Amino acid sequence: MSKILNILFLISLLFVSIENSGKKLEKDVGVFTRLPDNKMPKEFQDYMLWVQKMNHKFNLAEPESEEFYKLMHELFNYQIGEKSVIRNPVTVVEPNHVKMGKNSIIMNNALLMASGGIEIGDCTMVAAHAKLISNDHDLYDRSILTMLPIKIGNHVWVGAGATILKGVTVGDHAIIGGGSVVTKDVPPYAVVVGNPAKVVKYLDPEKFEGIEF
């Protein structure tokens, strides 16, 4: 009897593993397996198609118009904070994983690869042509999509054309130099530049006292 139960248990595990194909594999390291698009669940395919269409409509909206803000909040699942804005045009994948605090801005022509999650704090500026990429692929098995969140703090300035890769946390008040490629965490008040980006100086915290954002 015990042998039969063990066999049934193993069979149940097999079905669970098949059922979870395309879902998260290793929570701690952010590794996911995804099937080819034509084999993904229909709900996910429908969502990705909806994102493409909404992204297109948003990019054609007149800046600062009522339609612009309506489409922006709908596209980003109403997770854009008060007085924050994402300028069009923008290219975004899985915008439901993008969250912004208050008084922050992402300028035109940004690329937001948000499968792993992108979180931006308050009063942060992301300049034009920046790229926030929270996912990539396994070097050998390209069907494996690896994801780790990008977290950008408060009062951060991301320079034009900068790239921030998956798993990076940027501390409060830091500056990412234009065109830099950030592969590692950036401490608060640090100024980083280059490819890969390195710390070149630290800002004086006392000089921020009394400044209103």
- At 34 the pLDDT is 58
Q: Which two tokens stand for residue 80?
A: 């854009």
**8 pLDDT above the threshold of 60:** no
The count of C-alpha atoms lying within 13 angstroms of the C-alpha of 135, restricted to the half-sphere facing its C-beta, is 23
Q: How far apart are CA 84 and CA 104, in angstroms?
A: 5
The total of other beta-carbon atoms located within 10 Å of residue 1's CB is 5
At 18-41, the pLDDT tens digits run 334 344 444 444 555 555 566 678
pTM summary value: 0.82
Confidence of residue 15 (pLDDT cuts 50, 70, 90): very low
For the chain, give the mean pLDDT. Answer: 86
Work out the percent of the chain whose per-residue pLDDT is above 90: 69
Interacting residues of 90 by C-beta distance below 8 A, sequence separation 6+? 55, 58, 59, 106, 108, 109, 110, 111, 112
- Average of pLDDT values for 4-24? 38
- Average of pLDDT values for 91-113? 97
Within 6-162, strands assigned E span: 24-26, 31-33, 85-86, 90-93, 98-100, 105-106, 110-113, 118-120, 125-126, 131-133, 135-137, 144-147, 150-152, 157-158
What is the separation of C-alpha 12 from the centre of its chain, rounded to a whole number of angstroms? 35
State the catalytic residue, choosing from 73, 97, 137, 173: 137
* Beta bridge partner(s), residue 165: 133
Q: Which of 205, 135, 191 is nearest to 166 (CA)?
A: 135
Q: Which two tokens stand for residue 153?
A: 């703090």
- At 39 the pLDDT is 67
- At 131 the pLDDT is 98
**1 pLDDT above the threshold of 60:** no
Confidence of residue 87 (pLDDT cuts 50, 70, 90): very high
Compare 52 and 7 and report the one with higher pLDDT. Answer: 52
- Average of pLDDT values for 150-160? 98
- At 86 the pLDDT is 98
Annotated active-site residue 137? The verdict is: yes
- At 210 the pLDDT is 79
DSSP string, 17-29: HHHTTTSEEETTT
Instruction: Starting at the earlier edge strand, list the strands of the sheet with 135-137.
Output: 24-26, 31-33, 144-147, 135-137
